[in-house]
Structure 1
Amino acid sequence: MLYSTTDAASKRAAFRERLATGELLRLPGAFNPLSARLIERKGFDGVYISGAVLSADLGLPDIGLTTLTEVAARAGQIARMTELPAIVDADTGFGEPMNVARTIQELENAGLSGTHIEDQVNPKRCGHLDGKQVVDEDTAVKRIRAAADARRDPNFLIMARTDIRAVEGMGAAADRARALVDAGADAIFPEAMRDLAEFEAIRAAVDVPILANMTEFGKSELFTTQQLASVGVNIVIWPVSLLRMAMGAAGRALDTLTDEGSLTSQLGQMQHRADLYDLIDYESYNHFDSSVFNFTVTK
């Protein structure tokens, strides 16, 4: 009923404990609070909140147009709806090192379990597009150091994302990853790795957890969880997948309305009202008012 019964500090501690086992943790991307609850219901290990999804939800491209206030507010709405830990994309930290420090504390306040800060030049772009630019090592290090220094809960995960592989190659990616760990990063997100050997190279370069981004239509092959676990990846995200599936289904439904005049033929593809009511725990609200849930929804 209402929101998560697990407080943010407990979520963070549990997430750190799971991460320390070395197993592969699966974090599908939630595109709203209800989808986060569904991710939990289906037995996944955590929830990922993509900057690209938050931008798209506002009808905007993923080029750094969203603000810290918008991201913290929406991420908090998603995080509070699930007992799972939630990790959010904080792009380049929303400014200079002082802004990065504020970003960390705002995300802690919002109930997140961690975030990642990247080393792109602002305005940034999707990590799987061509033409990216990255900042110099000193700037990247200052961002991560500011994040680590600002953290109040030691279990809040500070992850460093590096996009340098697409700009300067794998040698530079390994060097940048090591420098970011030395600056205080708890984990590394090497963006746009092309094959398993590249993930292995980053795994060999650092002694912290690494994340694999399995976004569709990008630079990386869509490896299975078994393949990623075999090369030592610790977190896998599917950042935009659920939004893409939902928008694809919405487009097909609108086409059906145009072609057939109703959605009768699509009823089998819909989430049933009974399933929706179960997911939002409709019945539990009877605790406050016995007239709230005094009906039966049959399938």
Structure 2
Amino acid sequence: MLSRRGPLVVPGVYDALGARIAEKAGFGAIFQTGYGTAASLLGMPDYGFIGAAETVSNARRICGAASVPVLVDADTGYGNALSVWRLVGELEAAGASGMFLEDQRWPKRCGHMGGKEVVPYEEYAEKLGAAVDARSSRDFVIVARTDARATEGLDAAIERGIQNRKNGADAVFIEAPASAEEMRIIGRSIRAPLVANMIEGGRTPTASAATLDRMGFKLILYPLSMLYASSFAALRAMKELKKKGSTKALEGEMMEFDAFNDLVGLSRMAELEGRYGRDK
């Protein structure tokens, strides 16, 4: 996945339907977002409410619906190094192709929110080492994320990124740089596949994939685009329905019945029903 030429743009999904949508749009990999998982499962913010069980069960559903690689936001690993060791095995069994592991102090929160803290590096290094040791396949990608930019400054975050690469991370993720110049500094300072996190309205300025590639970023996440777009559209539709008692005015902006059934594989189910059904 990381050996391909050019940048890899990866959208975030939070359920099996989103995985189908992203794959139909032509993406070659998808990212299971913790922020979206918390929002979709609990209707709550990315504030440490999701645990290992929710993450793994959601990964199982998403991986089951997708035929492209799925990278999973595993937050802090939900415990100590042994917790991470077990989590890697569960994610591999669920069908995931990789995970993101961060160094925040629990309860963690979205990397573009305030009030974050990071654990001492030694504690994180133990978790990262456990993740590297636990994977059964070298193809399982481990992305090491640090949130130290917000708490200790850019230089400290870069130093953590460098150490993470030395300690076995396949890719390095410095969360929430505050400017394009900071991103250029990160690109010049760390020799590793780098992650850029493009959150609409977040702390990091967004840029095109080509621009980020020139800065040195290999894996470009858009983790919340689907969540924000679908929430915007759904809220608009519900307001229209509440106000007018009908969605007639939005028919051209909604997926049609047959198109949606095609998206979720109705024709395949009908074929199987015809093959195995009792009434032949």
Give the TM interval when normalised to the shorter protein. Answer: over 0.9
Deviation at 1:22, TM superposition (A): 4.1
Q: Check conservation: 2:188, 2:216, Cα contact below 8 A.
A: no
**Helix, strand or coil for the counterpart of 1:20?**
coil
Specify the alignment match of 1:53 in structure 2.
36
Corresponding residue of 2:252: 268
Give the fraction of aligned pairs with identical amino acids, expressed as a percent. Answer: 36
Correspondences of 1:276-291 after superposition (within 5 Å): 276-290=260-274
**Relative to structure 1, is the Cα distance of residues 21 and 250 closer, same or farther in structure 2, using a 3 angstrom cutoff?**
closer
Q: Structure 2 unaligned runs (5+)?
A: none
1:78 aligns with 2:56: no
The letter of the residue matching 1:222 is: T
Per the alignment, do residues 114 and 291 of structure 1 end up closer, same or farther by CA in structure 2, a change over 3 Å counting?
A: closer
1:43 aligns with 2:48: no
Is contact 2:197–2:223 with CA below 8 Å preserved after alignment? yes
Structure 2 partner of 1:91: 75
2:37 is paired with a residue whose SS is: helix
Give the alignment partner of residue 161 of structure 1, picking from 132, 145, 170: 145
Does the 8 Å CA contact 1:119/1:163 hold for their aligned counterparts? yes
Number of the residue aligned with 1:200: 184
TM-score, with structure 1 as normaliser: 0.88
CA offsets 1:141-194 (integer angstroms, 9 cap, x no match): 111111111111111001100000111111111111011112211111110012
| 8 Å contact kept, 2:144–2:164 | yes
Aligned to 1:222: 206
Aligned to 1:29: 12
Alignment length (residue pairs): 275
Are the counterparts in 2 of residues 93 and 117 from structure 1 also a CA contact under 8 Å? yes
Work out whether residues 128 and 169 of structure 2, in 8 Å CA contact, stay in contact via their aligned partners in 1: yes
| Displacement of 1:286 | 2.9
Contact 1:92 1:122 (C-alpha < 8 Å) held by counterparts: yes
Gaps of 5+ in 1: 1-14, 293-299
Query: Of 60, 63, 68, which aligns to 2:47?
Result: 63
CA RMSD of aligned residues (A): 1.6
Q: Which amino acid aligns with 2:138?
A: P
TM-score, structure 2 normalization: 0.94
Q: Could you tell me whether the CA contact under 8 Å between 1:28 and 1:47 is conserved in 2?
A: yes
Aligned positions of 1:288-299 closer than 5 A: 288-290=272-274
Match of 1:187 in 2: 171
Question: CA, structure 1 residues 279+141, in 2 after alignment: closer, same or farther (shift >3 Å)?
Answer: same
